[in-house]
Amino acid sequence: MASERTLVIVKPDGVQRGLVGEIISRLERRGLRIVALDFRVIDPAVSSVHYAEHRGKPFYAGLVEYIGSGPSVIMVLEGPDVIRAVRTTVGVTNPAEAAAGTIRGDLGLERGRNLIHASDGAESASREIDLFFGDRMPLSYERDIDRWIVE
């Protein structure tokens, strides 16, 4: 399958809890390639666009506050079927319901502190990569090991 890209955010709770390495490591160990990486406090102007689909919902104000409450790690990951693969590794939105073995299921307890964001489809991935990285294009490169990960 052709390579695709997805946007992943280790949210401020992941940074504060010292779980950046653990979370990136789980995704990297799946074989995914990091093609862009940034560390910054997400601006409300950006989070309001990123979470526009949730505007008006009861958790919206808390969500925008949470996502801007400290630095986040923002990255683009690449691999075959990466959008689906990452969502599976992340687990469902509510960590209390997320399967053991997933990032949210192993490391989180509540929806409002669920550690990580991952794009949910091709359209949102492309929109989110553009929103967070703009003209700072993700890199294209190969690793020697890729032929042992991708057929």
Q: Which residues belong to the active site?
A: 117
Q: Does 112 bind ligand UDP (CB under 6 A)?
A: yes
Cα–Cα nearest to 90, from 39, 77, 80, 146: 77
Is residue 114 at the binding interface for ligand UDP, with CB under 6 A as the rule? yes
9 or 73: whose CB is closer to Mg ion? Answer: 9
Contact between 61 and ligand UDP by CB under 6 A: the answer reads no
CB of 77 vs ligand UDP, minimal distance in Å = 16
Minimum Å gap between C-beta 17 and ligand UDP is: 15
φ/ψ of 116, rounded to 5, equals: -150, 145
